[in-house]
Structure 1
């Protein structure tokens, strides 16, 4: 087993280290006496002018093909978790402790950023390691994907998306140190749309069969996956509007309403989240809700679930003088009704800047918007 000395702190030895593609520490397996380990951990928490370390270097204890020094940036130390143990007392080196320092995203994929890691305690040189990494990446795809994925799609999805979504750390500028291997998956915002396009084009199908959704738009199997759009859009619609659209999908205008589901779902997926537009003078309004003389123009969706606390411009009872920007609960909005009137999402609204919305309502109501 190759060991590496931490040059900044005496008597600390590392047998494995993983960095991300920015060179920041993700995982460190380090051995040493308790005092040296505690000194190292404390130094990572301090600023450099207070005697702390923002980076450290590893020096191989034996000659090999690696650089004479391997540099590691600490990054934000607050993200680290630790797992410690103690070597048996009768070992050759005396009373030593062993600590893993790691970013928890390595074991708990981040569904918010759709990022996850696979890490193995063996080098990537063997065929077995490569297969295990590949299998682990596919499991992450299934866990983090915003749309359901079938195992039959594995080969085609990974072939087309690995180059975009996967970083094989052995091939990066900061390869793993020691006998470990790792890969990172980061699914981008366009992934769901690309999967939908693959189904439509017949690249992937249901139950192992390729299908062309264009010629069978309401195929039950295809609908389950292509119309993930329906599940995306559902929280943004009142129950009655959602049910009406589902029924209309079965009629003569089915193609129109199917396309509306997908169009609106894509728009919602790409919308800014809470605080994303706070420094934009004239933000884009993405959604419009209406009921009678009241309008709600949505600029940001809620950062958590999209609907709990959105942000937008509200006009109640045609009163532009009291119209205002503020937080809007879409979840409450779509449940609101007065008699037979319900708040509905405007399926024909086209995203425009807030200034144009104000011009539009001023012309409609003959008042100056606040």
Structure 2
């Protein structure tokens, strides 16, 4: 198995990356034996929305609390999964599950919002956010506008970045993420930036 694994509060599973936002599980990369992973999936399906089984805590090996306050997801709903297996020398075949919120799978074209998540913490998150914005926007966007427009949207609170860190708002480990929202006046914003010379065609 990989190094720097976090232990979870459920079914002897371990994790090398997870993202909790507002106590909701957005993403987790989980590793464990097949029987443990199957038991975990069954418990997810049978859990009541607000019961103990709806929580998933992540802790470091030396942490004594099963569900540390800042690294425990209390909402495990609307989750998708992708499962593979890989061989190990000491543990035999290990099951690997990506568990992720449905909102990460596809942008919401009606609401003009989308998420990106990257498993490479050194990758260019702004480039990924820009590509998401291009998908969502009804306005054609030229590549050299990226930095100026992202700055404008960040100032308006329409681009939210989640870098590796743990605090009361989010727990981001082994990944980085961004939420992109297109404001209603986006077309007017682009037009204004073109008129004042901030953007060049």
TM-score relative to the length of structure 2: 0.81
Q: CA deviation at 1:60?
A: 1.0
Residues 312-342 of structure 1: per-residue CA shift (max 9 Å, x gap): xxxxxxxxxxxxxxxxxxxxxxxxxxxxxxx
Q: Is the 2:113–2:180 Cα contact (8 Å) retained in structure 1?
A: yes
Q: Does 1:81 align with 2:76?
A: no
Deviation at residue 55 of structure 1 after TM alignment: 1.9
Higher relative contact order (CA 8 A, sep 6+): 2
Q: Count matched residues.
A: 191
**TM-score, reference length from structure 1:** 0.47
Deviations 1:218-262, CA, capped at 9 Å, x for gaps: xxxxxxxxxxxxxxxxxxxxxxxxxxxxxxxxxxxxxxxxxxxxx
1:112 and 1:43 mapped to 2: Cα distance? 33
CA distance in 2, matches of 1:49, 1:153: 44
Greater Rg by CA: 1
SS at 1:162 equivalent: helix
Q: Is the 8 A contact 1:4 1:61 kept in 2?
A: yes
The answer to whether 1:30 aligns with 2:25 is: no
Greater helix proportion: 1
Alignment of 1:140 with 2:138, yes or no, is: no
Give secondary structure in 2 for the equivalent of 1:96: strand
Residue of structure 2 equivalent to 1:167: 160
Aligned counterpart, 2:108 = 110
Q: 1:150 aligns with which of 130, 139, 142?
A: 142
What stretches of structure 1 of length at least 5 have no aligned partner?
207-370
1:136 Cα deviation after fit: 0.9
Structure 2: segments with no counterpart, 5+ residues = none
Alignment of 1:1-370 (within 5 A): 1-7=3-9, 9-20=10-21, 22-48=22-48, 53-62=53-62, 70-76=71-77, 79-88=78-87, 90-123=88-121, 128-129=122-123, 132-163=124-155, 164-170=157-163, 173-177=169-173, 179-206=174-201
Alpha-carbon separation, structure 2, partners of 1:52 and 1:62:
23
SS in 2 for 1:48: coil
Q: Write out the 4+ residue segments of structure 1 that deviate beyond 6 Å after TM superposition.
A: 49-52
- Residue 82 of structure 1 aligns to a residue whose secondary structure is strand
Once residues 75 and 158 of structure 1 are traced to their aligned partners in structure 2, the CA distance between those partners, rounded to angstroms, is 31
Q: Deviations over 1:121-178 (max 9, x none)?
A: 233xxxx43xx1111111112111121111122222112112321111126721312x
Q: Deviations over 1:20-44 (max 9, x none)?
A: 3x23111111111222212222222
RMSD between superposed Cα atoms in Å: 2.6
